[in-house]
């Protein structure tokens, strides 16, 4: 079995955790009165999926361990190793940690208090330093391993997931209008299932992004290998996808209500949706199909820029923005022609449904335009920074 298969089978983070535990336990053996168990536990707790989370959690647990060591030392001298007072010391430690908002250090601080208070009277001071140092050893080793040994690069996986997720959205735009025009409840329900799946994936991406530092001045950004402009761009992309998913679900709701009205009219013996067969409605549908086709192309070009950083997509994005405006005007014109027929027959339901569909599509267009502006500005700034770094590097070589 080669090395790549071993990594794929166990997982890189799993292997790094094992290495961190082994190294911290080994190094703690050189410290007098140390407890390798504390070093190993600290290494396991502090090796997090992101460098930023590991560093922040590591510092919190270092402070919590020192607090637990001092508290255990005080209670040991005052009350000895009495089990009841050991519980009281843990309660006080938990209260202080919650007040300081160091909840991540609860386990290590409590364990440190218990271990220190369990020692014999004459050996407590050396053991305090040994136990605390053991914990610090595990924390530091985990942080160093996570930073130096195959550091996680989240944006590579994030970019791939974002690309896979958004690839199907142009098709969803067309399917929603097809379901609306054909009054196809089955297709509408299929779209709804896809949107529920997309909503879960968007929430997962949001959780992953929230684990990363969001401050442009944070040193943790450099440890993660993250450009702040990329962070902003992906944050806007997730917001966009959440907005568009909600609008597609609203379009599906229009189709479902339209299908229910068709059943009601059939039950009453009337003609189901007579305006749906009119030439004016067919003209409106054709205009809507043209609009969603252009929205799909626009969506594809924008995420080509967002995910791949392809600046060649910028001219197409600018050109397509004007075309979308033209298609929206065509939809409005065809809607006005159809409204004349609806007003004569007092078909308020069909009129409101059409306005709701157009409102959602225009909302998707506005969201795409906003994301396009952010993407063009952000990718341009990133390329300028990289170009500046290249110039500096060439000057240094000269």
Q: What is the DSSP annotation of 313-367?
A: HHHHHHHHHHHHHHHHHHHHHHHHHHHHHHHHHT-HHHHHHHHHHHHHHHHHHHH
In this structure, what DSSP letter does residue 276 have?
G
Instruction: Tell which phi-psi region holds residue 184, choosing left (phi > 0), alpha (psi between -120 and 50) or beta.
Output: beta
pLDDT tens digit at each of 398 positions of the chain: 455 454 444 677 788 888 889 998 888 888 787 778 878 888 887 777 666 677 777 778 778 888 888 888 888 888 888 889 999 999 999 999 889 888 878 887 888 888 888 875 556 677 777 777 887 888 888 888 877 776 666 667 777 788 888 888 999 999 999 999 888 889 999 999 999 999 999 998 888 777 766 554 555 556 666 667 777 888 899 999 999 999 999 999 999 998 888 888 777 765 555 555 678 888 889 999 999 999 999 999 998 888 887 788 888 888 888 899 999 999 999 888 887 766 666 567 888 888 999 999 999 999 999 999 888 888 766 544 443 334 323 433 43
| Of residues 376, 382, 291, the one with CA closest to residue 335 | 291
Angle at 185 between CA 181 and CA 188, to 5 degrees: 80
* Number of domains observed in the structure of the chain: 2
- Cα–Cα dist 90/232, whole Å: 42
Residues 282 and 201 in one domain: yes
Are 99 and 33 in contact, with CB atoms under 8 Å apart?
Answer: no
CB-based burial label for 9 (10 Å; 0-12, 13-18, 19+) = exposed
> Is 222 contained in some domain?
yes
Domain boundary among 130, 148, 166: 148
Residues 165 and 52 in one domain: no
Domain boundary among 121, 148, 175: 148
Domain boundary among 112, 130, 148: 148
Q: Which two tokens stand for residue 299?
A: 């969506």
Residues 114 and 180 in one domain: no
pLDDT score, position 215: 57
DSSP per-residue letters across 214-256: --TT-HHHHHHT--HHHHHHHHHHHHHHHHHHHHHHHHHHHHH
Residues 196 and 142 in one domain: no
Residues 78 and 207 in one domain: no
pLDDT score, position 292: 94
pLDDT score, position 83: 87
In this structure, what DSSP letter does residue 280 have?
H
Residue 225 C-beta-side C-alpha neighbours within 13 Å: 11
Residues 377 and 307 in one domain: yes
| Of residues 278, 280, 45, the one with CA closest to residue 141 | 45
**Residue 140's domain spans which residues?**
9-148
> Is 40 contained in some domain?
yes
CB-based burial label for 174 (10 Å; 0-12, 13-18, 19+) = middle
Residues 183 and 323 in one domain: yes
> Is 310 contained in some domain?
yes
Report the Cα 317 to chain-centroid distance in Å.
25
Residues 294 and 249 in one domain: yes
Residues 190 and 326 in one domain: yes
Task: Give the three-state DSSP class for 29.
Answer: coil
Are 214 and 192 in contact, with CB atoms under 8 Å apart?
Answer: no
> Is 372 contained in some domain?
yes
| Of residues 249, 51, 238, the one with CA closest to residue 161 | 238
């Amino acid at each position: 079995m080669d090395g790549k298969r071993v990594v794929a089978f166990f997982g890189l983070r799993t292997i790094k955790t094992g290495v961190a535990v082994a190294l911290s336990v080994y190094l703690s053996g050189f410290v007098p009165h140390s407890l390798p168990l504390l070093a190993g536990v600290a290494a396991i707790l502090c090796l997090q999926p992101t460098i930023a989370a590991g560093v922040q959690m590591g510092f919190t647990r270092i402070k919590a361990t020192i607090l637990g060591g001092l508290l255990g030392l005080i209670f040991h001298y005052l009350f000895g190793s009495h089990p009841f007072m050991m519980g009281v010391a843990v309660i006080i430690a938990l209260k202080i940690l919650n007040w300081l908002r160091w909840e991540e250090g609860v386990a290590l601080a409590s364990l440190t208090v218990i271990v220190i208070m369990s020692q014999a009277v004459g050996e407590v001071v050396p053991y305090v330093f040994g136990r605390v140092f053991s914990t610090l050893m595990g924390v530091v080793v985990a942080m160093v391993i996570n930073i130096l040994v195959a550091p996680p690069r989240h944006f590579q996986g994030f970019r791939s997931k974002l690309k896979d997720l958004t690839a199907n959205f142009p098709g969803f735009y067309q399917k929603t209008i097809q379901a609306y025009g054909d009054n196809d409840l089955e297709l509408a329900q299929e779209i709804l299932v896809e949107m529920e799946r997309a909503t879960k994936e968007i929430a997962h991406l949001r959780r992953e992004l929230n684990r990363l530092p969001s401050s442009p001045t944070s040193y943790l950004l450099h440890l993660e290998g993250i450009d702040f402009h990329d962070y902003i761009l992906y944050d806007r992309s997730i917001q966009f996808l959440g907005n568009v998913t909600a609008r597609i679900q609203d379009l599906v709701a229009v189709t479902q209500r339209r299908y229910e009205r068709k059943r009601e009219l059939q039950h009453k013996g009337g003609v189901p949706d007579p305006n749906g067969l009119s030439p004016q409605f067919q003209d409106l549908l054709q205009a809507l199909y043209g609009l969603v086709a252009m929205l799909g192309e626009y969506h594809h070009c924008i995420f080509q820029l967002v995910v791949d950083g392809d600046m060649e997509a910028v001219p197409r994005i600018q050109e397509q923005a004007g075309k979308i405006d033209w298609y929206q005007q065509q939809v409005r014109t065809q809607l006005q022609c159809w409204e004349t027929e609806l007003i004569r027959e007092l078909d308020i339901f069909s009129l409101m449904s059409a306005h709701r569909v157009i409102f959602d599509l225009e909302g998707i267009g506005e969201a795409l335009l906003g994301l396009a502006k952010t993407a063009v500005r952000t990718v341009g700034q990133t390329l300028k920074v990289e170009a500046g770094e290249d110039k500096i590097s060439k000057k240094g070589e000269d």
